[in-house]
Amino acid sequence: MSHLTIPAGQGPAGDTTHAEHSGTPYGDSARSSDVHVFEGPRLLRDLADGPGLGMHRRRAPRALAVPPRSQHVGALADLLEAVDLRGRGGAAFPLARKVRTATKAKGRPVVVVNAAEGEPASSKDSVLMLLKPHLVLDGAQAVAHALGASAVHVVVPGERPAVERAARTALAERADTGDITMTVHRAECRFVAGESSAVLELLAGRPNLPVTTQRPSAVSGLGGRPTVLSNAETFAQAALVVRDGVDAYCAAGTHAEPGTRLLTIDGDGERPTVLEVAHGTPLAPILAAVDADADTGLLLGGYHGTWLAGDVVAGLTVSATAITAAGAAIGAGVLLPLRAGACPVRRTAVIVGYLAGESANRCGPCRFGLPALAEALREVAFGTVSSTARLEQLATTVEGRGSCHHPDGTTRSIRSLLRVFPEEVDAHLSGSCAAGDLVGTRTLVAGTLVAGTLGTGTLVAGTLGTQTFDTRAFGIGTVGAGAMAGVR
């Protein structure tokens, strides 16, 4: 496989502004370090062409230079349904169903391309927008034309300014949008900013935070109008179906799950990698191809994901069905391998600490419950408690109690930790850890942490409370408010 590297914060045109985001559980890896991109069979094909519209049209003359405005929306929905195209942002909702619903709702439809991944460990939509923006826009434009929509809104991640510049450049190149206005919007730099209701709030001029919604956005979304909102990759996949037809699309993948999918592989100290694989491809060789070691286990689905044991991962394929059968969900296609010798308990504690800090603070169980949950898990990770009872009780308390799924996603990783790594958890409860002795060598002062250095890390003001832990638990990184980044 050939590949290229997108340097930190850069677009392919040599833009040198770095992304401004740090302090995630994997340091600032996915947000501001290099992203390794492998050439793929479809979406990530011909990467050396660059993102420009000219080469895009030359490569695929049947691409939607003049989108099929006359194409009946029912025909488009049939195409999408024939390949069972589902959202690639996590919810896996069928795109055809959104399109059909929107045609029946009142008002002129709107299309929203959600490229604000929110999930720090995911880079695939940013890569698409940087390298193949016109494929995404082709798909959005095709859906918009078929629906008779008036507008396409493209939402980009605020912490990745190069993506916004790439989107604006691509839109400026397109003069064939007819009466459809296409605009770019910048999401806030936070985990929940990419949640669909939060995206609609942003577009409505309100805070970019999740809200409780009564009706599907395809019925009543932006301004009460039917809104087809989906992930950037979903629209790029839609463009392939419209351009190439069902048979060509189904030439890759499996009968039940045709086509390809983008994955982001990130992990302990690894450079994030984005690659495109056909459904049905075994996971093991994919991980081997990027030198990722998942013998110990893998967190599948990102920070809201599910831990799977190494032997389970070894038998898996890239298949939503197979992954669901294994007790996980492929989500936005984020794979976080746990390298040999690393500690899943500590890793999860770091992630949950980060997620607790990302609450929108609107729902009590999320605002107060997640920090308490993070604290309870830290106590387990540091071996200062002998039972997981409080942890499990807190998890039960917050589940299903938020306006969005942030609390549920957070407890998902904790529950899978307890289920998949019972021996490691028990070891911690007994005061030991395979990745290092937990005998405390430093005590953090209650309340605000002392500023200074600890091991090779740097302490900043935080709210960890009194904790005893071994400095060997920390690599280079920071201990911040409610989150401990850089723990190895």
In this complex, which beta carbon is closest to ligand SF4, that of residue 82 or of residue 211?
A: 211
Tokens of 313: 């991962």
> What residues numbered 397-436 form the site for ligand SF4, per CB under 6 A?
402-404, 406-407
Report the residue count for the chain.
488
Helix (H) and strand (E) counts in the chain: 18, 17
Among 121, 187, 360, 377, binds ligand SF4 (CB under 6 A): 360
Question: Rule CB under 6 A: is residue 373 a binding residue for ligand SF4?
Answer: no
**Nearest residue to ligand SF4, by Cβ distance, number only:** 402
361 binds ligand SF4 (CB under 6 A): yes
356 binds ligand SF4 (CB under 6 A): no
Half-sphere exposure (CA, 13 Å, Cβ side) for 345? Answer: 29
User: Interface with ligand SF4 by CB under 6 A: which range of 111-119, 155-163, 355-363, 377-385?
Assistant: 355-363
Q: Which is nearer to ligand SF4, 217 or 359 (CB)?
A: 359
User: Closest approach of Cβ 212 to ligand SF4, in Å?
Assistant: 8
- CA dihedral sign of residues 19, 20, 24, 27: positive
What is the footprint of ligand SF4 within residues 179-218 (CB under 6 A)? 192, 209-210
Specify the stretch interacting with ligand SF4 by CB under 6 A; choose among 112-120, 144-152, 178-186, 356-364.
356-364
- Using CB under 6 A, count the residues that bind ligand SF4: 15
Assess 372 for contact with ligand SF4 (CB under 6 A). no
Q: How far apart are CA 128 and CA 139, in angstroms?
A: 13
Instruction: Spell out the residues 6+ positions from residue 436 whose beta carbon is closer than 8 angstroms to its own.
Output: 343, 470, 472, 473
361: left (phi over 0), alpha (psi -120 to 50) or beta: left
Choosing from 359, 388, 411, 478, the residue that interacts with ligand SF4 (CB under 6 A) is 359
DSSP state of 391: H
Q: Judged by CB, which is closer to ligand SF4: 339, or 367?
A: 367
**Smaller CB distance to ligand SF4: residue 97 or 415?**
415
Please give the single-letter amino acid code of residue 124.
K
Q: Which is nearer to ligand SF4, 363 or 449 (CB)?
A: 363
**Residue 157: strand, helix, or coil:** coil
- Quote the least distance from Cβ 201 to ligand SF4, whole Å: 10
Query: Applying CB under 6 A, which part among 10-18, 88-96, 362-370, 436-444 lies near ligand SF4?
Result: 362-370
Which tokens in the block code for residue 387? 């039972």
User: How many C-beta atoms lie closer than 10 Å to residue 359's C-beta?
Assistant: 25
Residue 150, SS3 per DSSP: coil
Residue 369 touching ligand SF4 (CB under 6 A): no
- Please choose, out of 53-61, 147-155, 359-367, 460-468, the segment that lies near ligand SF4 by the rule CB under 6 A: 359-367
Q: Which is nearer to ligand SF4, 412 or 488 (CB)?
A: 412
If you write DSSP's letter for every residue of 48-87 in order, what string do you get?
A: GG-S-HHHHHHH-TTSSSS--TTS-HHHHHHHHHHTT-B-
Site string for ligand SF4, 81-120 (x = CB under 6 A): ----------------------------------------
Among 131, 366, 435, 438, binds ligand SF4 (CB under 6 A): 366
Give the residue with the Cβ less far from ligand SF4, 209 or 484. Answer: 209
Q: Confirm or reject binding of residue 362 to ligand SF4 (CB under 6 A).
A: yes
Contact 304, 416 (CB under 8 A): no
User: β-pairing, 227-231 with 457-459?
Assistant: unpaired
Residues 480 and 469: their CA atoms lie apart, in Å, by 16
**In this complex, which beta carbon is closest to ligand SF4, that of residue 32 or of residue 217?**
217
Per DSSP, the residues of 198-217 read HHHHHHTTS-S-----SS-T
Q: Whose CA is closest to 124, among 331, 409, 332? A: 332
Q: Applying CB under 6 A, which residues contact ligand SF4?
A: 192, 209-210, 359-363, 366-367, 402-404, 406-407
